Amino acid sequence: MSDYSIFPEIDDTIKECKKHLVNTGKIGTQIESYFTRFLLVFICSEYEKEIEKVVINRANATGDTCIASYVAKTFRYTKHVKLPDLRGQVLGRFSVELKDNFNTKFGREEEASYENIITNRDSSAHGGILNMTFLELEESIPKAEKIVIAFKEVMSR
């Protein structure tokens, strides 16, 4: 786990959960599964907030308060964190250039890690099967964050 994350709250929460799992010997138990499910929801929430913030900042940069207000109010009711949504529903609506630039900033491993987090969050939040361990989640986060970083980079210019 990187100590240079753009999400220090995620880092701190994972460290606390891991400390508890190790200190109580609960790795490999149902408690680990509960922590992983909680973390998936928490992480996706943090990603959603960051993506929303970046979009709203981009709208505010236009200097047009009506446009900024419209974008902020519209975006708040639609959560676009899946990669196809980020590409098509967000970046593609701004411009093809932003979408194409975004796609050059990460590789298949980062994409797979990000999608694995999103998919497992969706599945576990709706009563489905969790297909990720705490360790797998911990290892996926630095790779997945590269997707959010790439999004911030292309939207912040």
| pLDDT tens string 56-111 | 999 999 999 999 999 988 887 777 789 999 999 899 999 999 999 999 999 999 99
Average per-residue pLDDT in the chain?
92
Please give the residue that has the higher pLDDT: either 127 or 18: 18
**Maximum CA extent, the chain:** 55
Q: What is the pTM of this model?
A: 0.92
Per-residue pLDDT, 75: 84
